Amino acid sequence: MAIGLAQNRGEVQAALAGHRATTASLVDVDFTGLDTAELLALQSERERHARIEAMIDHRIQAALMAQAAPHEIGGKSWKDVLATRMRISGKEASRRVTAAAELGPRYAIGGEVLEPLLPACAEALLSGTINSEHIAIIRNTLAEAKKYVSTAELVQIESDLVAAASRDTPETLKAASDKLLYLLNQDGDSPDVAAHLRGLRIGTQDADGLVHVQGWLDPETAAYLTTVPACGAHRASTTPMIPNRSTTPRPVRSMTLRPSRSRTPCMACKTRKRRPVVTCGPRPSAITMHSKWRCANY
């Protein structure tokens, strides 16, 4: 695709002013005076001009992306710059940036003009024979076809699809693209063994309440689960040990009678806030207490 450079900025402004004047001359036209054939011809011509203007917009955006960075204009990305400046949605801004990167000219470090990523699509859009819907289908088809063909064959596939798009609707082109992808890979993709094995299988609960779990995890999930017992072990290892703690088990007594919760002391234990713990033998009659703890309220 030949790229012509303007001699000066004045020529660009003059061409833009002429475009505005031509468009303004059509605003007040009464099209009801034209017959059906003339209206259809006018509609087709307007569609062709709209496609050409879209290609001009892609070239302008490509030149802008080659000269500046988004943060120099005050945006986080080109999508953000377009959405804010043109007051369009983020989805539409993303579509325009992608189209400019694929259909607009590319520039080398030395300033040389390189072909677009999709040269056949760019040429057809500049001539007005295909539209953005055709290009989206061709782009997706080439992204899948490059898994099975070489670069030279990929260029030929793009040319064939562009030729089909110049005479067919996007729906017909999509059907032809699907058939092409099927012919390129009739046996289908090879099975992804890791994807089939990945997952957990939880069995039924046994009589003892335990449940059997087995399966395969991807590296990320396995790393998460590995840190769980590691964190618990780290916490246990940092628990301070009690110094000089006896490990000898205490003798088990037959019974322990805990004190009453009553705070009213009796005559024999006025100096105590609560009744003391009293230990006893196997039988209640075997209770033995010191005389100073003996109490009639017990």
pLDDT band at 53 (very low <50, low <70, confident <90, very high): very high
Q: Are residues 101 and 122 in the same domain?
A: no
pTM above 0.85, yes or no: no
Q: Is residue 296 part of a domain?
A: no
Count of domains forming the chain: 2
Contacts 24+ apart (CB under 8 A), 64-72: 65/97, 65/100, 65/101, 66/106, 66/107
pLDDT tens digits, 56-92: 999 999 999 998 999 999 899 999 999 999 999 999 9
Distance CA 20, CA 34 (A): 23
Last residue of a domain, one of 87, 102, 117: 117
Identify the pLDDT of residue 58.
95
Last residue of a domain, one of 145, 164, 186: 186
Q: Does residue 53 form part of some domain? A: yes
Q: Which domain holds residue 93?
A: 34-117
Asked if 16 contacts 6 with a C-beta cutoff of 8 angstroms, the reply is no
Residue 50 belongs to a domain: yes
Closest by CA to 216, choosing from 195, 193, 199, is 199
Residue 140 lies in a domain: yes
Q: Is residue 258 part of a domain?
A: no
Evaluated on CA atoms 32, 34, 38, 41, the torsion sign reads: negative
> Going along 206-244, which residue ranges are E strands?
211-216
Last residue of a domain, one of 117, 136, 157: 117
Q: What is the pLDDT of residues 259-280, one digit of tens each?
A: 545 555 555 555 554 444 444 4
Is residue 162 situated within a structural domain? yes
Q: State in Å, rounded, how far the first CA of the chain is from the last one.
A: 110
Model confidence pLDDT, tens digit, residues 153-203 = 999 999 999 999 999 999 999 999 999 999 998 887 776 666 767 788 898
Q: Is residue 90 part of a domain?
A: yes
Calpha distance 59→125 (Å, rounded): 12
The answer to the question of residue 71 being in a domain is yes
The verdict on 104 and 144 lying in the same domain is: no
